[in-house]
Structure 1
Amino acid sequence: MSSTFLLIAFIVYALALLGFVIAVTGKKSVQEADPEGFAKRWGFIGFILTVIGFLCHVTFFFTRWAEGGHIPTSNMYEFMTFLGMMIVLAFIVVYLIYRTPALGVFAMPVSIIIIAYASVFPREVQPLIPALQSYWLKIHVTTAALGEAFFAVGFAAGLMYLLQNVNFGGTSKADRREQRGVEFTIFTLLMIISFVVAIFGFNAAGYKATFVSDVKMTDINNVEQVVKQNVEYVLPPIVKPYQSEQLEMKPFLGMTEPLFEAPSWMEGANAGRKFNTVIWSVLLGTLLYALIRLVVRKPLGRALQPTMRGIDSEDVDEIGYRAIAIGYPIFTLGALIFAMIWAHEAWGRFWGWDPKEVWALIVWLFYAVYLHLRLSRGWQGKKSAWLSVIGFLVVMFTLIGVNLVIAGLHSYSGT
């Protein structure tokens, strides 16, 4: 039942996005007698749909909690769906303050993409491992996710500001650098979208490849032993695990075996599969970006720029700053202070330089620098927007790259 509510929420979010798009693009029509009233009316419709979708999302959250007997934030599927819900909550809060429909055009897709990304992971309710059997799971994860959600809204506002103010017709070094930065940001979003579509596509086609590898494991007596472990691929294996044996592989475009083997420094049986995922994401993201460029026949940033006309740049700049200013203390509590307290209870130390801990600290320091430069050095406008965009890309690497590529104590969240 919980999955049904999530599906309904996803569909309603998509309809809400459509409402915000109509509010922004429809008011520019010369045939519209009351463009401002038109924008407000469709913006209100988009907002109401957002609230309805959020209520369905909350229902999903609590029904899954009842089904599993614990807060549903213990693996990638649960955490990413929860993060998507928190992004919508953060957007609702900011929208009630500023009433800017254009923000929904950029904030809602972030939530939609994250929910879609979550859906590629196993959805079964899993029992908690010992390290997660603590009330700190509720406190740490929820506050950290809410802080990151406000960073996502800041990212949306920052991207809006850049689309408004980057000179896409300029030929100077500075202009070209900014143009490439905006295109890279859009490419990153398209890469995640193409990965999600590919996973669903190959799953629907029933594609499967299986390899077996020798993996070193330590038992409860601290004795190291070598065991055989099967690794299953959903995406066709361009790269196979290091020193593995192929058990099964359905042909794909004439390819009956992987093109090459993962390097020896990629430890773990799943390292090759994760590397394969990264390769496919880049390839498919590049293909999708190229196809869209072929259709619009111009850089995507330049193609999106007309949608920003008529929106006050100072308001967008203020929205981005306020969102990050709200999210930073919440993230500080959740991702650092509460996390260290829980780490001491679970592992007997406050800090251990685990990859997830290190990247959470990097995120915290980055946004500390953002606030310092904004408040003390007057970095407003374009400089502030670039920092908000880069900061959220770092957040996404912390959530996706660290969990799925870098091994550590938090690796269980990637299962």
Structure 2
Amino acid sequence: MSYVEFSSDAFLVAFFLYCFAFMFYVIAFAGKKWSNRDPIAHQRRWGRIAFIVSSTGLASHLAFFFTRWIGSGQIPTSNMYEFMTFLAMSIMIAYTIVYAIYRKPLLGVFALPLTIIIVAYAAVFPQEVQPLIPALDSIWLKVHVTTAALGEAFFAVGFAAGLMYLLRVIDYNDKTKNGRRAQFWLEFTLYSIIVIVGFIIAVFAFRGAGYEAEFTQEKVIIDSRGVQTETTSNVHYTLPPIFKPYNSEIVSVQPFLGVDKPLFEAPSWMNGINAGRKLNTVVWSIIAGTLIYGLLRLAFRKPLGAVIHPMMEGIDPEDLDEISYRAIAIGFPVFTLGALIFAMIWAEIAWGRFWGWDPKEVWALITWLFYSAYLHFRLSRGWQGLRSSWLAVIGFVIVLFTLIGVNLIIAGLHSYSGV
């Protein structure tokens, strides 16, 4: 068995261990209410088991990372599959560090699902080893990408703790205007997470069913001298085409629910790489996520936040607030080094300039400015508790857009990351 094949098996083992660890965390904190003996002892015992299993999963994840590195001869962070797997591994490393500081396994209830979602999201992308393009063939790839991802991983832990704080303190029985507003945005946050899960489920469901559709798209490009060039390219879909590419013709479409042709055409102004297919994927993600959210609401007959809130009883919200702040405070200097300083050094070497207003550069700067504001408000204005937790949640939403939205939707020098 080659190193790359072994790494794939190790990655699968890590995924299942993370899933088991999450279930053990749920038993530790939700099951203590039904424990006939000492609830505290029940929580400690199952929390310890969950941490051991999650740490074993991290060890398997590290084995995946290093064996793939050895087998491919290059650090596995050069495409979306490799980077997202590394980010998931970094989140587990950050969680382990925070656990070593605070000895509070309760954070695993939310850190593990976040890791599982990112691992599943990574598996959507092609998993073959791809050779590095010249711009990536540099030692600065290792220091820039790894430190930036590690900083974002601590932001993810801060997000998990902040979200737990909101679920702990927001009262769904509060009928005031401010109370209803807080309930709406918390529920919208949970819905957004479910939309990402819906995307993963939709992709794997149709991929497992072998669904395919193909179009030929004609593009007209006019250069600065007014010379017109026409190109034709094939666009491959693995989800039923609600939106077909702009100015395209059908090559083949498998019928789905009796529909054998696209319902709409992507707008003409969406002229990025595979813009029509990406719009189609976004729409399917919203459809699948909304369906899952609706089924959950139908099953529980109450908002999801109201379902989770009683499970958070007995958890000290001040602990969650402190963990969220400390995680972000640790991640901020690491992110500053990786996403800004090391990135600018690499940009000078690869492209001959420190800064070029590339979309990825701009959003990395926006992320850094947002967390700078977070720390300023926290330290200078005394923003703690509810305000601080909302900022932690919003900040990680910006991180996700920087990672996913910029890589896969906005064209730029970093577009190769979405391959």
1:237 match? 241
Written as runs of structure 1 = structure 2, the 5 A alignment for 1:172-183 is: 172-183=176-187
Identity %: 63
Could you tell me how far 1:98 is from its partner in structure 2? Answer: 1.5
How far off its partner does 1:401 sit? 1.0
Answer whether contact 2:219 2:247 (CA < 8 A) is retained. Answer: no
* 1:28 is the counterpart of 2:36: no
Q: How many Å separate the matches in 2 of 1:131 and 1:244?
A: 33
Which residue type is aligned with residue 110 of structure 1?
Answer: L
Name the counterpart of 2:278: 274
Report deviation, 1:95: 1.1
Instruction: State how far apart, in whole Å, the 1-side matches of 2:74 and 2:90 are.
Output: 18
Counterpart selection for 2:10 from 2, 5, 10: 5
State the match for 2:3 in structure 1.
none
SS at match of 1:210: strand
Q: Does 1:326 align with 2:330?
A: yes
Letter in 1 for 2:63: T
SS of residue matched to 2:249: strand
Aligned equivalents of 1:5 and 1:232: distance in 2?
A: 30
Are residues 1:303 and 2:307 paired? yes
2 CA distance for matches of 1:217 and 1:130? 26
1:44-70 CA-partner distances (Å, limit 9, x unpaired): 111111110001001111111122211
TM-score by length of 1: 0.97
Q: Which position in structure 2 is the counterpart of 1:317?
A: 321
Counterpart of 2:147, as a letter, is T
Give the TM-score normalised by the residue count of structure 2.
Answer: 0.96
Shift of 1:269: 5.0
Residue 17 of structure 1 corresponds to which residue in structure 2? 22
Count the aligned residue pairs: 411
SS of equivalent to 1:27: helix
| Contact kept in structure 1, 2:272 and 2:410, CA below 8 Å | no
Which residue, 393, 396, 400 being the options, matches 2:400?
Answer: 396
Q: Does structure 2 retain, via aligned residues, the 8 Å contact 1:81–1:115?
A: yes
Any conservation in 2 of the 1:229–1:269 contact (CA below 8 Å)?
Answer: no
Report SS of the residue matched to 1:265. coil
Compared CA separation, residues 139 and 277, structure 1 to 2 (3 A): same
Q: What does residue 294 of structure 2 align with?
A: 290
SS of the counterpart of 1:378?
coil
Against the structure 1 CA distance between its residues 209 and 105, is the aligned structure 2 distance closer, same or farther, given a 3 Å change threshold? same
Q: How far, CA to CA, are the matches of 1:224 and 1:311 in structure 2? A: 65
C-alpha distance in structure 2 between counterparts of 1:329 and 1:408, whole Å: 26
Tell me by how many angstroms 1:25 deviates.
1.3
Aligned-residue offset at 1:255 = 1.2
Choose which of 111, 114, 120 in structure 2 pairs with 1:116.
120
One-letter amino acid of the structure 1 residue matched with residue 58 of structure 2: F
Cα deviation digits, residues 201-248 of structure 1 (max 9, x gap): 1011000001111346899xxx98433211111111100111111111
Contact 1:242 1:269 in 2 (8 A): no
Q: Which moved more, 1:113-122 or 1:396-405?
A: 396-405
List structure 1 runs of 4+ shifted beyond 3 angstroms.
215-219, 223-226
Residues 216 and 75 (structure 1 numbering): CA distance in 2 closer, same or farther, change over 3 Å?
Answer: farther
Which residue pairs with 1:49 in the alignment?
Answer: 53
Q: Match of 2:205?
A: 201
Contact preservation (8 Å) 1:23, 1:101: no
Question: Cα deviation per residue 1:51-100 (whole Å; 9 max; x = unaligned)?
Answer: 10001001111111122211010111000000000001101111111122
| Kept after mapping to 2: 8 A contact 1:215/1:227 | yes
Match of 1:384 in 2: 388
Deviations 1:8-43 (A, max 9, x none): 0000001111111111112222x4322111111111
Q: Note if contact 2:79-2:418 (Cα within 8 Å) is conserved in structure 1.
A: yes
Residue 59 of structure 1 pairs with residue 63 of structure 2: yes
Query: Which region of structure 1 is more displaced relative to structure 2, 171-180 or 5-14?
Result: 171-180
SS in 2 for 1:28: helix
1:365-380 correspondence to structure 2 within 5 Å:
365-380=369-384
Q: Aligned residue for 1:146?
A: 150
Is the Cα contact below 8 Å between 1:215 and 1:268 reproduced in 2?
no
After superposition, the Cα gap between the structure-2 partners of 1:218 and 1:149, relative to the gap in structure 1 and judged at 3 Å, is farther
Q: Partners in 2 of 1:328 and 1:224 — Cα distance?
A: 47
Structure 1 residue 271: Cα displacement: 0.5
Give the superposition deviation at 1:168: 0.9
Query: Please, which runs of 5 or more residues in structure 1 have no aligned partner?
Result: none
CA distance in 1, matches of 2:150, 2:74: 19
Counterpart position of 2:363: 359
3-state DSSP class of the match of 2:235? Answer: strand
| Partner Cα separation in structure 2 for residue 365 and residue 218 of structure 1 | 37
- The separation in 2 between residues aligned to 1:402 and 1:351, in whole angstroms, is 17
Q: Work out whether residues 195 and 286 of structure 2, in 8 Å CA contact, stay in contact via their aligned partners in 1.
A: yes
Where do residues 91-240 of structure 1 align in structure 2 (5 Å cutoff)?
Answer: 91-215=95-219, 225-240=229-244
- CA distance 1:217–1:143, change in 2 (3 Å): farther
Letter in 2 for 1:5: A
